[in-house]
Chain A
Amino acid sequence: MSDIPDRVRKIVVEHLGVEEDKVTESASFIDDLGADSLDTVELVMAFEEEFGIEIPDDAAETIQTFGDAVKFIKEAS
């Protein structure tokens, strides 16, 4: 449970090719980390697989920042 932020950060770093210290709580995937809309879909897919959860489309749309992702996954897993 406590390692969720690290695992999420690792996926974001690998997928978007950004520096680890850029992935802050409020970092927006699109505005701050250079993701396009398809990247955000792929990130959600990667989160689903890493944590064995299902993220419905309407929930996926609310996951805009690193903090959003960690919060959602903590609640879901």
Chain B
Amino acid sequence: MFDLTGKNALITGASGGIGGAIAKALHGAGATVGLSGTREAPLQELAAELGERAFVLPCNLSDPEAVAALPKQAADAMGSVDILVNNAGITRDNLFMRMSDEEWQSVIDVNLTANFKLCKGVLRGMMKARWGRIINVSSIVGATGNPGQGNYAAAKAGLVGMTKSLAYEVASRGITANAVAPGFIETAMTDKLNDEQKSGIMGQIPAGRMGTADEIAAAVLYLSSPEAGYVTGATLHVNGGMAML
């Protein structure tokens, strides 16, 4: 349904479950994809699986210089960056009373500040092209909060406010900026939960199951498409009804 032929997409966190699914979805719709992530091996694996139109662009988002260089590397590799998917994220969970400054700062740096810099870095090309799609992957906890995740929730809520502000500024130039807020999704991140935690979560999800990475990728694909040109500043919640926002 959605055709991204000729569009170049940079996806961060493509070595993870959700990022990999996003890359596959955009690639499947015809886009050329730049796969970014900290670990190069899974990126190479994914690129090999995708075949043509896939570039590996390793980047550690906690390294400010690497972040600053990534938009240009992506544009050099693909020719432009028409779609930016800020998907990468880390967690450093701890109770508020115990959370160290370092735990706070590292999550803000990677999950919020790096996204700001990547958005800024791709805007010039999008402004000139009068077309662009920015999708920031937030989280349900950015809206609801979550015990033990003060840092993560702050960064994810911050992304939403940042995305809306950016959407205002660039709407007249054919650029949209939106957020996707996953609920509980089957990934390595949620695998770490124990059975008790999982069943507790299940009880709060009207759909009665966790979501899949493909269901997040589908939301990102829609927001990347030409058809979504009139949707900007929105947060698309994909959470099985866990929070109806």
Contacts and interface: CB of A to CB of B under 8 A. Distances in A.
Interface residues of B, number: 7
Nearest to A38: B169
Nearest to A41: B127
Contacts of A38: 169-170, 172-173
Contact of A45 (B127, B169, B170, B172): B127
A45 B169 CA distance: 16
A45 B127 CA distance: 10
B192 interface: no
Contacts of B127: 41-42, 45
B98 interface: no
Nearest to A48: B124
B129 to A, nearest CB: 12
Nearest to A49: B128
A77 to B, nearest CB: 20
Interface in A27-76: 38, 41-42, 45
A71 B124 CA distance: 24
A60 to B, nearest CB: 13
Nearest to B169: A38
B186 to A, nearest CB: 41
A41 B124 CA distance: 10
A38 B169 CA distance: 8
Contacts of A41: 127
Contacts of A42: 127
A42 B170 CA distance: 11
B236 to A, nearest CB: 26
A41 B128 CA distance: 11
A38 B128 CA distance: 12
Interface in B159-210: 169-170, 172-173
9 contacts: A38-B169, A38-B170, A38-B172, A38-B173, A41-B127, A42-B127, A45-B124, A45-B127, A45-B128
Interface of A: 38, 41-42, 45
